[in-house]
Structure 1
Amino acid sequence: MSHTPDQTALLSAFGQLLRPLARLALSRGLPYPALDELLQAALVEEARRLHADAPAHGLVSRVSTATGLSRREAGRLLQARAADGAEAGPAPRRWLAGEVFARWMTDPACCHGGQPRRLPRQGAAPSFEALAQSVTRDVHPRTLLDELCRLGLAEWDAADDTVALQRNAFVPCADFTRMLALLADNVGDHLHAAVDNVLGGSGDAHFEQAVYADELSQESVRALRPVIAAQWAELFGRLVPLLERHIADDKAAARPQDQRVRIGFYSYAEPMAQPPIHQPPHGA
């Protein structure tokens, strides 16, 4: 498939944007079908916004043309959104490793005293093999065990060929949920700002600046951290009273208070992909 220069550049940018999201998805076993459904739903929702004035009888065709999805898929996702009264979300998909984990936690045959018991890897119930086969026979029990171990949910003891559930291997669910909410809010707004700036269709450009440096040592990166933290503390201390004052002034002046703002500050450091090769001085 051939692409325009803009589309080629866009695909390259998407490749960089998607890699950290792929890493996050794999870290929690989120399967591709759920992500595929989510992307399709997002494309359909944005296409619907672009064609907000289209007559109802022609909306499916316009969304299908804009997204490249079939009319059937476009219609299904539009109907799902209408049924939910909000943006269409991903259709429920089976996460087999998660189902095995949940059943292990709750099945009386796999528990003792309310706690998940260590199970023989193979054999008749209660065993991990029987547990996995009670969830699905489409995937081999060893494949499911490998995935649970990779995610830190289970541990296999090769010495006695038993498997134990590791409930404390994860960050507590509530904490992880809060971290994901912050990620979605902060990175989501940053991405909205960047996309608005690229498309140039929102009037005033959003402020988005960064400084980049390479060829630093680990010691130098560590030395920067307290400086960065101090700069944020200073900015935070100035912004919060200013924002509160603006809110109070807007309220006193009876101005419509229908705007929101997010002001962020971040830093990121990692090893260079190709460390520089320093040439020895001439004559050395």
Structure 2
Amino acid sequence: MKRLRRAPSAPPESASTSEDRAALALRQAEVLLAPVARWLLRSGVSYGALARLLKPVFVEAAREELARTGVEPTYSALSVLSGVHRKDVRAICESPQTDPASARPHGVPLASQVYTRWLTSRRYRDRDGQPRSLPRSGPGITFESLSREVSVDVHPRTVMEELMRLGLVELEGDVLVARQDSFLPDRRIDELTALFAANAADHMAAAVHNLTLDAPRYLEQSVFADGLGEASVESLHMLARQAWQGTFEEMVAAAGKRVAADAELPEDRQQRMRVGMYFYSEPQNPAAPALVEAPKATTRRPRKGTKT
């Protein structure tokens, strides 16, 4: 079948130079990061928050690479390999491990900071401790005054629209109402998010191992096809679910036996494993959304006694 293909089990011939390999990796990284960007944006995480997170991630990855090749992980070596400035490398390496909650405001988008203040500040709660419904603007306590307490650089309307997009507030007439239930931590969501990250990370780790190391290769293959109709995709999806159910039961039984057999192994000889399966479909030629330039909004502070 012309349109049915199997992913290669071995990597393609390597690029001729390290520059070529870097350019190739960077091009494909864009493909890998696209769904990550969608996930982050739908979760309310901005580019700036991710950029701040990447510095320590690159430094830690550089540390692991240097250790793997037997090179001392000095600040200079970490800086050269990671591309992170030496002073930032030093700050990252010397900073004590802090509670993630204490550092959270630095990586939390503006809209989430505004919403958190709304829920927690006494000024914006009623006598029962519930968040007040806030007029958009005007004298007294309003959403505009709340937003400008957190930042005067972004127009309150922009913050309001982002909170509405995230489903955290509702606009009733000219009054904003907080949806507290949307902000409460959901243990199920926490677990699913952690599982997603672990599954995707191990899948990518297996592929990176196969692409970059001269070592026995992990199983990391897929079957993909195009030119399919909606009914065919649904049929194949069902087949994949059935195939996974059998694999799942067989692997659980076998893994349970192997764990019991290896119970006496010392910790320094223990390993972990993960095996999974996925299915995904989308239109072959999705229409690109039209870019519409939004009307410019003023960012000046409102004069006292005026409405915006």
Scaled by the length of structure 2, what TM-score is found? 0.77
Pair 1:100 & 2:114 matched = yes
Asked which structure has the greater RCO (Cα within 8 Å, sep 6+), the reply is 2
Q: How many residues align?
A: 263
| Post-superposition offset of 1:195 | 0.1
| Post-superposition offset of 1:117 | 3.2
Q: CA RMSD in A?
A: 2.7
Aligned to 1:175: 188
Matched residue SS, 1:137: coil
Distance 1:94 1:248, change over 3 A: closer
Aligned 1:61-210 pairs, distance under 5 A: 61-80=76-95, 83-84=96-97, 92-112=106-126, 113-157=128-172, 160-169=173-182, 173-201=186-214, 203-210=215-222
| Post-superposition offset of 1:251 | 3.1
- Whether contact under 8 Å (1:251, 1:257) holds in the other structure is no
| Post-superposition offset of 1:168 | 4.3
Provide, for residues 96-153 of structure 1, a one-character-per-residue CA deviation record: whole Å limited to 9, x for no partner.
2112111222334433444333221001232111111222223221121121112111
Q: List alignment gaps of at least 5 residues for structure 2.
A: 1-17, 288-308
Pair 1:31 & 2:46 matched = yes
Query: Which residue among 22, 36, 51 is the counterpart of 1:7?
Result: 22
Distance 1:120 1:175, change over 3 A: same
Q: Which moved more, 1:91-100 or 1:68-77?
A: 91-100
- Whether contact under 8 Å (1:110, 1:116) holds in the other structure is yes
Query: Which residue among 199, 220, 223 is the counterpart of 2:235?
Result: 223
Q: List alignment gaps of at least 5 residues for structure 1.
A: 276-284
Aligned to 2:273: 261
Distance 2:108 2:180 in 1: 21
Matched residue SS, 1:4: helix
| Post-superposition offset of 1:55 | 4.8
Pair 1:248 & 2:263 matched = no
Residue identity matched to 1:124: P
Scaled by the length of structure 1, what TM-score is found? 0.83
Residue identity matched to 1:228: A
Matched residue SS, 1:212: strand
Distance 1:16 1:170, change over 3 A: farther
Matched residue SS, 1:124: coil
Q: Which moved more, 1:10-19 or 1:164-173?
A: 164-173
Provide, for residues 43-71 of structure 1, a one-character-per-residue CA deviation record: whole Å limited to 9, x for no partner.
11121222235457xx1111111122221
Matched residue SS, 1:251: coil
Distance 2:282 2:45 in 1: 25
Distance 1:256 1:8 in 2: 38
| Post-superposition offset of 1:252 | 6.4
Query: Which residue among 34, 47, 50 is the counterpart of 1:19?
Result: 34
- Whether contact under 8 Å (1:119, 1:162) holds in the other structure is yes
- Whether contact under 8 Å (1:120, 1:163) holds in the other structure is yes
Aligned 1:23-62 pairs, distance under 5 A: 23-52=38-67, 53-55=70-72, 59-62=74-77
Distance 2:111 2:163 in 1: 6
Residue identity matched to 2:121: D
Matched residue SS, 1:123: coil
Distance 1:271 1:31 in 2: 27
